[in-house]
Amino acid sequence: MSTHQPRITMKKFFLCTSLALFAAQAWAAPDMLALAKQKNCLACHAVDAKIVGPAYKAVAEKYAGKPGAEQMLVN
């Protein structure tokens, strides 16, 4: 039995899992952008640069892992 087979299988597993996660994230992005446009958030915020308010990346870092943060930020 080859010792390399399980390693190749694990690499394929992690590759497929990563691709699935990125695909799910890319699918959700248009919905988030539509919500930001609807709520007029883009008047003060950008994805990766401070305009008037902080960038969305900075907000994501600040609230990462905090319970209820997503619901609070959407409202």
**Is 4 one of the annotated binding-site residues?**
no
| Rounded CA separation 70/60 (Å) | 9
**Is 45 one of the annotated binding-site residues?**
yes
Q: 74, 41 in Cβ contact below 8 A?
A: no
| Rounded CA separation 60/55 (Å) | 9
What residues form the annotated binding site? 41, 45
What residues form the annotated binding site for heme c? 41, 45
